[in-house]
């Protein structure tokens, strides 16, 4: 699964706000845009959406900007990804309206991918914004995937 650019930028905005949560002055969109080399207008749309979802509060004018509504340790990564991603249809058979696969009755792939997606979100649900911006010594330790050597393809 690949996250969309929208989700990537959303996470960057939220992480930047989390990283500067204790700061007296609010974070600005321009500041984030310059830091990440992202279009200011694109970030404005993302910030508007995050404000509509009650994740960010915004203030206009001199001294205005954006802040997290809640503490970073109460915002789960899984909730953000579920909100920003629109399509979790990994393969055709996940969508009953589009499914044309003739293997469906005897195929175990859907069940395996469903379990994998559940594990994916279980990991994301166990991580907060605070974990993502914590110092390296205190970040969440995630297990590394076991990589299998590639199998030789017979001639």
pLDDT digits (tens, 9 = 90+) for 25-75: 999 999 999 999 999 999 999 999 999 999 999 998 888 899 999 999 999
User: Distance (Å, rounded) from C-alpha 75 to C-alpha 68?
Assistant: 10
Statement: residue 145 has pLDDT above 60: no
Q: How high is the mean pLDDT of the chain?
A: 84
Q: What is the mean predicted confidence (pLDDT) over 114-140?
A: 83
The values of phi and psi at residue 57, to 5°, are: -110, 140
Query: Does residue 104 have a pLDDT over 90?
Result: no
pTM: 0.77
Q: Specify the CATH number of the domain 5-87+128-135.
A: 1.10.10.10
User: Residues in the chain, how many?
Assistant: 155
Tell me, what's the pLDDT at 139? Answer: 47
* pLDDT value of position 143: 55
């Amino acid at each position: 699964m690949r996250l969309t650019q929208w989700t990537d930028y959303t996470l960057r905005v939220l992480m930047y706000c989390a990283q500067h949560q204790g700061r007296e002055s609010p974070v600005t969109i321009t500041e984030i845009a310059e830091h990440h080399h992202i279009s200011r207008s694109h970030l404005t749309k993302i910030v508007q959406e995050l404000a509509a979802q009650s994740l960010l509060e915004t203030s206009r004018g001199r001294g205005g900007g954006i802040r997290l509504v809640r503490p970073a340790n109460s915002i789960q990564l899984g909730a953000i990804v579920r909100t920003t991603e629109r399509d979790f249809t990994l393969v055709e058979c996940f969508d009953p309206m589009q499914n044309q696969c003739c293997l469906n009755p005897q195929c175990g792939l859907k069940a395996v991918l469903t379990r994998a997606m559940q594990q994916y979100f279980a990991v994301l649900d166990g991580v907060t914004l605070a974990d993502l911006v914590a110092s390296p010594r205190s970040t969440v330790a995630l297990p590394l995937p076991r990589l299998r050597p590639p199998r030789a393809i017979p001639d």
